[in-house]
Amino acid sequence: MIRRSDLLASLARCFAEAGLEAPEREARALLRAALGLSDLDLIVRGTEEVAERDAARLTALAQRRAAGEPFARLIGRREFWSLDFALTPETLVPRPETETLVEATLALFPDRAAPLRILDLGTGSGALLAALLSEYANAHGLAVDRSEGAARAARDNLVRLGLIARAQVMVGDWAQAIAARFDLVVSNPPYIAATDIAGLEVEVRDHDPRLALDGGPDGLDAYRAIARVLPRLLATGGRAVLELGIGQEHEVALLLADAGLPADGAARRDLAGIARALVTVPA
Note whether 163 and 218 are same-domain residues: yes
199 labeled binding residue: no
Residue 72 belongs to a domain: no
Average of per-residue pLDDT across 142-158: 97
User: What pLDDT score does 48 carry?
Assistant: 80
189 labeled binding residue: yes
Q: How many CA atoms lie within 13 A of 158 on its CB side?
A: 28
Residue 125 has pLDDT above 80, yes or no: yes
Note whether 102 and 140 are same-domain residues: yes
End-to-end CA gap in the chain:
64
223 labeled binding residue: no
Note whether 139 and 60 are same-domain residues: no
125 labeled binding residue: yes
Among the candidates 16, 41, 67, a domain finishes at 67
Residue 44 has pLDDT above 70, yes or no: no
Average of per-residue pLDDT across 7-18: 88
Residue 45 has pLDDT above 90, yes or no: no
138 labeled binding residue: no
Note whether 42 and 91 are same-domain residues: no
User: What pLDDT score does 165 carry?
Assistant: 98
| Alpha helices per DSSP H over 177-267 | 202-205, 221-233, 249-258
Domain count, the chain: 2
**What's the CATH code of the domain at 217?**
3.40.50.150
Buried/exposed 173-185: b ≥16 CB within 10 Å, e otherwise: ebbeebeeebbbb
174 labeled binding residue: yes
209 labeled binding residue: no
Residue 73 belongs to a domain: no
E strand spans, 29-86: 49-50, 77-80, 83-86
Note whether 91 and 200 are same-domain residues: yes
Note whether 207 and 171 are same-domain residues: yes
Residue 40 has pLDDT above 80, yes or no: no
Q: What is the pairing mode between strands 83-86 and 77-80?
A: antiparallel
Residue span of the structural domain in which 242 resides = 80-279
Note whether 84 and 63 are same-domain residues: no
Note whether 122 and 250 are same-domain residues: yes
122 labeled binding residue: yes
Note whether 214 and 152 are same-domain residues: yes
124 labeled binding residue: yes
126 labeled binding residue: yes
Whole-angstrom Cα distance, residue 96 to residue 270? 9
Residue 52 belongs to a domain: yes
Average of per-residue pLDDT across 23-33: 89
Among the candidates 67, 93, 108, a domain finishes at 67
Residue 278 host element (H or E): strand 275-279
